[in-house]
A and B are shown apart, each in its own frame.
Chain A
Amino acid sequence: MLGEGILKGLAETAKNFAGSFVSAERMITVQYPEERIAPMEAARVFPFLVYDSKHPEDSLDWEAGMRCVACQICEKECPPKCIYIEKSKDKKPDFVGKMQIYPARFDIDISVCMSCQICVEVCPFEAIKMDTQFELATDDRFGALLLDRKELAKSNEYYHHIHPTEAAEVDARLAAEKAKANAKVKAAADAAVAKAATQPAVPAAKPAEGNKQE
């Protein structure tokens, strides 16, 4: 019968229409911005710089605790070249207590950034991670879309908050690295002590321990 196929099709739409009132499976739209879904753990939008802080509630330590050592690998590997880094002239201790250069200037032009995560992949210091914040619209084309290092700095606690699984893995890896570095320092100190014991002289200096909280 002509029209049978159309009627069958209409029966399907009717089923869907009625079904959308009872089944959540059939009604999947979300009324943004009134209704919001929490971003997924793996979601990525734009990069941010991680810093370690003893006082995460205020962001006073953002400069001192920044993990970035301005090695410029991300700047080189970035496909659209949206990262701009200037190295510092002086050095400050990093998370294992080694004296390191830090970024005097670290800018990301998020109007150019394409959220590909390659900077995160190539960073050997776990210093740059992806944010999940996506509502970044502004009316200033250049100034407000160029994020400097203060705007980019987010605490490790924030990182834990948005990517809990990944952040835990990163912390474990960093702790292991730090323990290894400390053991090395300690072994060197022990050797110095042993050496000093054979030839009694001035007592060996106690190795400096980085007790910074991870």
Chain B
Amino acid sequence: MTPSTIDPERLEGWNRPPIIEPDGEGDLLEVAMGPHHPSTHGVFRMDLALDGERVIRLKPVFGYLHRNHEKIAETVSYLATMPYTDRLDYICSLTNNWAYALAVEKLVGQEVPERAEYLRVILGELTRAQNHASSIGFLLQEMGASGTPLMYAFREREKILDLFESLTGSRMMCNYMRFGGCRVDASPVWLDAVRKVVAGLPAFVDEFERFLSGSEIVMARCQGVGILKPELAINAGVTGPMLRASGVNYDIRKVDHYGIYDRFKFRVPLGDHGDIYDRYMVRILEIRESIGILEQALKGIPGGPVMDPKAKIRNFRPKPGEAYGRIEAPKGELGFYLISDGGPNPYRYRVRPPSLINLTVLEDMCLGSNVADVVLIFGSVDIVLGEVDR
């Protein structure tokens, strides 16, 4: 173990987690929560120091799912990395594909046909809807509502996954986007199926809200718990629904206008308090906005090719250079940083994982609260370990 170079308590001026003083009675209890803990969404460990029920210290421990994705990508061709990106955040493989394709398109200056852009928006927003639905389901599961809310969310997710399967061939490992377009075209039958599912989504969100939003238990457990201040959220690089729940208006779809997002009308839901309830509410409202985008995209989708005919699939060798491309993935800002030296595989391939960086503030949010709330706060961050550890 390498010792810290500077004791954090002596370091002034940085946004360090607050120091909680134990109340002096008895010893601290050290608990290793995880890696095999049902609430950790995979293999993740938190080293807790407890004073009674209160959390005095929390140190996240990573690496149980570390596969060195970045190294693998540097040894295989640009195309062969695409299926590996599915396995980062395996709940939202299509947005991973999109972010990687966007970064490579920036690297080579590749154009994407109109229809492919529309398909990407449709698939991206479907991904966002199903990710938020299942993340709320998992949050409620961790709150003790075993099964029911999660199963309602999964029922809806199932319909969206069926759409993914009938278009891309796989439910979760879609491997669909390519540099300069998409792999296969969507048939009119498929688009009609999407319209049908999208038409049914508002009823599902209404039902979900009637079921949960007003529930006294949900409010008691979530309101005022795990508060994240906006200044700290920005400084710690928190992105996605978590940042917006703290009241910071920053949505990359609105800021970068990547793809064709400047054509759609949608609002960015913002929270007020930055607590768990706000994160829950922001996700619900984002599903509603996604439905709006989907309706506009399904109305406006043009005909034409889905792949730029000039785009290369095999023997793809970008000219030397570098590019950083990012998108608003359901969990936050997903970025890919690529350096090409002119060879068939990237010289440097870096993933900016939103799940990992959103966990920077986990300790700040949990300190001083009860152990039972740690589970909830952790659930409200919405992470996937495949992306945290890569």
Binding site for B on A (CB under 8 A): 2-6, 8-9, 12-13, 16, 26, 28, 40-44, 73, 77-79, 114-118, 121-122, 130
CA distance A26 to B151 in the complex (A): 11
Q: How many residues of B contact A (CB 8 A)?
A: 37
CA distance A168 to B158 in the complex (A): 30
Among B79, B84, B165, B211, which residue has its beta carbon within 8 angstroms of that of A9? B211
B40 within 8 A of A: no
Do B83 and A121 touch across chains, with their CB atoms under 8 A apart? no
Do A42 and B169 touch across chains, with their CB atoms under 8 A apart? yes
Chain A's nearest CB lies how many Å from the CB of B167? 7
Do A114 and B216 touch across chains, with their CB atoms under 8 A apart? no
Given contacts A77-B314, A79-B76, contact A6 B215 (CB under 8 A): yes
Residues of the A chain whose Cβ atoms lie less than 8 Å from the Cβ of B165: 40, 42-43
Do A42 and B166 touch across chains, with their CB atoms under 8 A apart? yes
Between A and B, 8 residue pairs with Cβ closer than 8 Å are A4-B214, A6-B216, A41-B166, A44-B169, A79-B83, A115-B170, A116-B86, A121-B183
Chain B's nearest CB lies how many Å from the CB of A123? 11
Among A12, A73, A118, which residue has its beta carbon within 8 angstroms of that of B211? A12
Do A117 and B175 touch across chains, with their CB atoms under 8 A apart? yes
Residues of the A chain whose Cβ atoms lie less than 8 Å from the Cβ of B158: 28
Given contacts A12-B207, A28-B158, A42-B165, contact A114 B83 (CB under 8 A): yes
Given contacts A9-B210, A79-B80, contact A121 B313 (CB under 8 A): yes
Residues of the B chain whose Cβ atoms lie less than 8 Å from the Cβ of A4: 214, 216
Residues of the B chain whose Cβ atoms lie less than 8 Å from the Cβ of A16: 152
Residues of the B chain whose Cβ atoms lie less than 8 Å from the Cβ of A42: 165-169, 184
Do B83 and A9 touch across chains, with their CB atoms under 8 A apart? no
Do A9 and B169 touch across chains, with their CB atoms under 8 A apart? no
Chain B's nearest CB lies how many Å from the CB of A40? 5
B148 within 8 A of A: yes
Do A130 and B169 touch across chains, with their CB atoms under 8 A apart? yes
Do B313 and A116 touch across chains, with their CB atoms under 8 A apart? no
Task: List the A residue with the shortest CB-CB distance to B156.
Answer: A28
Do B169 and A43 touch across chains, with their CB atoms under 8 A apart? yes
Within 8 A of A (CB), among B168-188: 168-170, 173, 175, 183-184
Do B148 and A13 touch across chains, with their CB atoms under 8 A apart? yes
Chain A's nearest CB lies how many Å from the CB of B93? 11
Residues of the B chain whose Cβ atoms lie less than 8 Å from the Cβ of A115: 170, 173
Chain A's nearest CB lies how many Å from the CB of B306? 14
Do A116 and B173 touch across chains, with their CB atoms under 8 A apart? yes
Task: List the B residue with the shortest CB-CB distance to A28.
Answer: B155
B296 within 8 A of A: no
Secondary structure of the B contact surface, majority rule: helix
B77 within 8 A of A: yes
Do A8 and B155 touch across chains, with their CB atoms under 8 A apart? no
B29 within 8 A of A: no
Do B314 and A9 touch across chains, with their CB atoms under 8 A apart? no
Do B169 and A77 touch across chains, with their CB atoms under 8 A apart? no
B212 within 8 A of A: yes
Among B84, B162, B169, B210, which residue has its beta carbon within 8 angstroms of that of A117? B169
B217 within 8 A of A: yes
Do B210 and A3 touch across chains, with their CB atoms under 8 A apart? no
CA distance A122 to B84 in the complex (A): 17
Do A12 and B313 touch across chains, with their CB atoms under 8 A apart? no
Residues of the A chain whose Cβ atoms lie less than 8 Å from the Cβ of B207: 12
Do A12 and B210 touch across chains, with their CB atoms under 8 A apart? yes
Do A122 and B210 touch across chains, with their CB atoms under 8 A apart? no
Chain B's nearest CB lies how many Å from the CB of A53? 26
B20 within 8 A of A: no
CA distance A85 to B79 in the complex (A): 21
B234 within 8 A of A: no
Task: List the B residue with the shortest CB-CB distance to A3.
Answer: B216
Do B214 and A118 touch across chains, with their CB atoms under 8 A apart? no
Do A9 and B214 touch across chains, with their CB atoms under 8 A apart? yes
Residues of the B chain whose Cβ atoms lie less than 8 Å from the Cβ of A78: 80
The 0/1 profile, CB within 8 Å of A marked 1, for residues 135-174 of chain B is: 0000000000000100010010010001001111110010
Residues of the B chain whose Cβ atoms lie less than 8 Å from the Cβ of A6: 215-217
Task: List the A residue with the shortest CB-CB distance to B148.
Answer: A13
Residues of the A chain whose Cβ atoms lie less than 8 Å from the Cβ of B175: 116-118
CA distance A2 to B170 in the complex (A): 46
CA distance A114 to B93 in the complex (A): 14
Task: List the A residue with the shortest CB-CB distance to B162.
Answer: A40
Residues of the B chain whose Cβ atoms lie less than 8 Å from the Cβ of A44: 169-170
Residues of the B chain whose Cβ atoms lie less than 8 Å from the Cβ of A3: 216
Residues of the A chain whose Cβ atoms lie less than 8 Å from the Cβ of B313: 121-122
Do A77 and B77 touch across chains, with their CB atoms under 8 A apart? yes
Residues of the B chain whose Cβ atoms lie less than 8 Å from the Cβ of A121: 183, 313
Among B167, B173, B210, B214, which residue has its beta carbon within 8 angstroms of that of A114? B173
Within 8 A of A (CB), among B202-226: 207, 210-219
Given contacts A42-B168, A116-B83, contact A122 B214 (CB under 8 A): no
CA distance A40 to B168 in the complex (A): 11
Given contacts A42-B165, A42-B169, contact A5 B214 (CB under 8 A): yes
CA distance A3 to B214 in the complex (A): 9
Chain B's nearest CB lies how many Å from the CB of A115? 7
Chain A's nearest CB lies how many Å from the CB of B344? 10
CA distance A26 to B158 in the complex (A): 12
Residues of the B chain whose Cβ atoms lie less than 8 Å from the Cβ of A12: 207, 210-211
CA distance A5 to B77 in the complex (A): 54
